[in-house]
Amino acid sequence: AKAAGKATWARFEPRMRSEVVNHARLGSELHNAIIRHELYLAYQPVFDLVTGRMSGAEALVRWRHPVRGAVPPAEFIPVAERSGLIVPLGSWVLREACEQLARWQAEHGAAAIRSINVNVAARQLREAGFVDEVAAVLSDTGLIPANLVLEVTESSVLDGRQVRDTLQALHELGVRLALDDFGTGQSSLSLLRAFPVDVLKLDKSFVDGICDGEDRGRLAVAAAVAQLAEYLDLYAVAEGIETAAQLERLREMGYRLGQGYFMAKPLAPAELAELMVRTGRP
Ligand code: C2E
Ligand code: CA
Ligand code: CA
Ligand code: CA
């Protein structure tokens, strides 16, 4: 009866308005989600496309809502960004992900998994204490700074002087910086000159098109990003690889690292450890 009532409500409510209401409620619920342990992390392996070994993993936040069930990050991350809740949420993700990498390395050796990728929102980069926070997490977990890859988007990098100083300080700390969703932004090339970037992460939307004979545009972007990375001595990573053909094509283009459902979906820590052991011994 409850589900039917909800459906009726949704039909009468104009789309925009119901979204606003929904966001307000989500925001207040998100506030307690960390405390109530409703948030957890899934880890999607990043593979070395040449050796086939796992090189690292990207931490992806999940919210198991007691009533709504699984809420996708694409729904609550934007809400968290607007309300500022992304700051405590992001702090939790950073610490949890680094602790997890330290546990894997303690159990399986540092060679079994080298790095952890953590998504960082613009709001976090604007916090005055962010660099100190990263330094504290590294020191508490005993990770070496190069083990941590912070994924930032082009738009958040363009946020101004303070963010640029923060990225410079993180770089000096030895943390690696990845430009996420690369190719989707506006001023990619000038960004690369102005910021201490280590990794270019090609967006899935380009990977989707590379084996489509009709789609020369996306193929060209994918190939150009790999070339650019090589010239600038950066790592090129491809995300959202779903087929063997895409994997082969990206490898030919020069992508050394990749992630996608073809190799592995986001996993629970124990599942990833199992896969790590399996792929680590040829
Ligand atoms: P993203 O950083 O671009 O992450 C990649 C997304 O693509 C993930 O979705 C991942 O599960 C999905 N994906 C990976 N491989 C494949 C594939 O082969 N096929 C398909 N169809 N999808 C694939 P997810 O986990 O839903 O995350 C969505 C976005 O939410 C992320 O996009 C990221 O922008 C944001 N996000 C997730 N966790 C965090 C976080 O802890 N902090 C912040 N600030 N943002 C986060
Ligand atoms: Ca990412
Ligand atoms: Ca991405
Ligand atoms: Ca993406």
pLDDT at 12: 41
Counting ligand 1 atoms within 8 A of each CB, the residue from 119, 259, 272 with the most, and so the one to mutate, is 119
pLDDT at 187: 62
Q: Which two tokens stand for residue 100?
A: 């997890």
Counting ligand 1 atoms within 8 A of each CB, the residue from 40, 77, 123 with the most, and so the one to mutate, is 77
Query: What residues line ligand 1, using a CB cutoff of 6 Å?
Result: 44, 60-61, 72-74, 77, 90, 93, 119, 121, 180-181, 239-242, 259-261, 266
| Closest ligand 1 atom to Cα of 72 | 26
What is the bridge-based pairing of β-strands 39-48 and 54-65?
A: antiparallel
The pTM of this model reads 0.91
State the angle between helix axes of 130-141 and 161-173 in degrees (0 to 180), rounded to the nearest 10: 20
Which residues have their alpha-adjacent CB atom under 5 A from ion ligand 3?
Answer: 180-181, 239
122 CA to centre of ligand 4 in angstroms: 16
Taking the C-alpha atoms of residue 219 and residue 221, their distance in angstroms, rounded to an integer, is 5
Contact assessment for residue 281 and residue 263, using Cβ atoms and an 8 Å cutoff: no
What is the bridge-based pairing of β-strands 115-119 and 199-202?
A: unpaired
In the chain, where do the E strands start and end?
39-48, 54-65, 69-71, 115-119, 148-153, 176-182, 199-202, 235-238, 257-258
Return the residue whose CA atom lies nearest to atom 10 of ligand 1. Answer: 266
Mean pLDDT, contiguous 10-residue spans, the chain (282 residues): 42 48 76 87 96 96 92 92 92 97 96 96 94 98 98 85 93 96 78 87 93 85 94 95 96 97 97 91 54
Taking the C-alpha atoms of residue 78 and residue 82, their distance in angstroms, rounded to an integer, is 6
Taking the C-alpha atoms of residue 202 and residue 256, their distance in angstroms, rounded to an integer, is 12
pLDDT at 8: 40
Residue 162: φ, ψ to 5°: -65, -40
Taking the C-alpha atoms of residue 219 and residue 222, their distance in angstroms, rounded to an integer, is 5
Counting ligand 1 atoms within 8 A of each CB, the residue from 30, 60, 100 with the most, and so the one to mutate, is 60
pLDDT at 230: 94
